[in-house]
Amino acid sequence: MREIENIVVLTGAGISAESGLATFRGQDGLWEGHRVEDVCTPRALARDPALVHAFYDARRAKLAEVEPNAAHYALARLDAQWPGGLLIVTQNVDDLHERAGAKRMLHMHGELKSALCAACGARRAWEEPMGDRPPCPSCEAKALRPDIVFFGEMPYEMERIDAALSRADLFVSIGTSGAVYPAAGFVQTARHYGAWALELNLEPSAGSYLFSETRTGPASKLVPEWVE
Ligand code: BJW
């Protein structure tokens, strides 16, 4: 293995599971009550905005009740102490990495606490409660939607992510099933450029064979063990 200077960490819903946030595809997955195509596509938002807003309102309310866990705090310590390059790419729309203190991170699938104007692209904090959906402060259109990357939409910051993957010596995937692209392909990109790839997950995922090493167990145990 080459000397490690640059690290890319990809996190998924599994890292927040022990904080009390449901994952998407597990037994108690988020989509059990809501079919993904009913709530997470631009077409669904246009067809039934009340359903989509209710889904994200409930997620936002739940977020207020939970706290970061030992895995989020361990990554925040890594961020504070790692002298080389680091990018934490989260697919999660919760804010638990930030609340734990991580700085070198980005949200590739958007953020629950952000609102996006579908008319002009302006963003604002999602203030609670938004009641009957106020107009966009920039263009005044009544087009504020959750700032979430729906299926068929381009994830955020792909150029920055690709650049970091091309420089990575170590790629670590934590708590993601690898079912959703382009994130599911990051391991192959990183390995193409020569990175060692480590998977930390409750159980082996469908893409485990793509990794150099897989460790199984809860993130709150595996991530601090890996970081220390
Ligand atoms: C634990 C644990 C514990 C539990 N400790 N671990 C056909 C083929 C290929 C691609 C496509 C296709 N048809 C369409 C596509 C593209 C599509 C896609 O991938 N679809 C698949 C379903 C096939 N992707 C898109 O449309 C994306 N955009 C796109 O591709 O744009 C074009 C493009 C072109 C070129 C370059 C780049 C882009 C957009 C995807 C948007 C995803 N949005 C969602 C919802 C938004 C956020 C929200 O509402 O919260 O993002 S879907 C949902 O899945 C969410 C998640 O971020 C994402 C990934 O889920 P995640 O995090 O992996 O969760 P789970 O539940 O699946 O897994 C949890 C894991 O944790 C499990 O493995 C557990 O074992 C583990 N675990 N407890 C450790 N305690």
Per residue in 22-81, pLDDT (tens digit) is 898 866 666 656 666 677 899 888 888 888 888 888 889 999 999 999 999 999 999 999
Contact call for residues 16 and 96 (beta carbons, < 8 A) = yes
159 Cβ below 6 A of ligand 1: no
pLDDT at residue 121 in the model:
93
Residue 1: pLDDT above 60? no
To test ligand 1's pocket by mutation, which of 9, 95, 145, 151 has the most ligand atoms within 8 angstroms of CB? 151
For residue 84, how far is its CA from the centre of ligand 1 (angstroms)?
A: 28
More confident residue, 129 or 89: 89
Active site residue 109: yes
Which residue lies with its CA nearest to atom 11 of ligand 1? 181
Q: Is 3 exposed, middle or buried (0-12, 13-18, 19+ CB in 10 A)?
A: exposed
pLDDT at residue 29 in the model:
67
What is the sign, positive or negative, of the torsion defined by CA atoms of 206, 209, 211, 212?
positive
**Which of the listed ranges 54-58, 96-100, 118-122 does the model predict with the highest average pLDDT?**
96-100
pLDDT at residue 129 in the model:
63
pLDDT at residue 150 in the model:
95
On whether ipTM exceeds 0.85, the answer is yes
Residue 130: pLDDT above 70? no
pLDDT at residue 122 in the model:
94
For residue 156, how far is its CA from the centre of ligand 1 (angstroms)?
A: 14
Give me the domains of the chain, ranges plus CATH numbers: 1-20+67-109+154-228 (3.40.50.1220), 22-65+110-148 (3.30.1600.10)
Q: Of 222, 223, 171, nearest to 194 (Cα)?
A: 171
Report the 10 Å Cβ neighbour count for 153.
Answer: 13
pLDDT at residue 134 in the model:
77
For residue 141, how far is its CA from the centre of ligand 1 (angstroms)?
A: 30
Q: Round the average pLDDT of the chain to a whole number and report it.
A: 92
52 Cβ below 6 A of ligand 1: no
Candidates 72, 97, 107, 109; catalytic one: 109
Residue 132: pLDDT above 70? no
pLDDT at residue 99 in the model:
98
pLDDT at residue 52 in the model:
87
pLDDT in tens, 136-189: 889 999 889 999 999 999 999 999 999 999 999 999 999 999 999 999 999 999
Give 225's strand partners. none
Question: Is 173 annotated as a binding-site member?
Answer: no
Residue 84: pLDDT above 60? yes
Question: Is 207 annotated as a binding-site member?
Answer: no
Model confidence pTM above 0.90: yes
Contact call for residues 11 and 174 (beta carbons, < 8 A) = yes
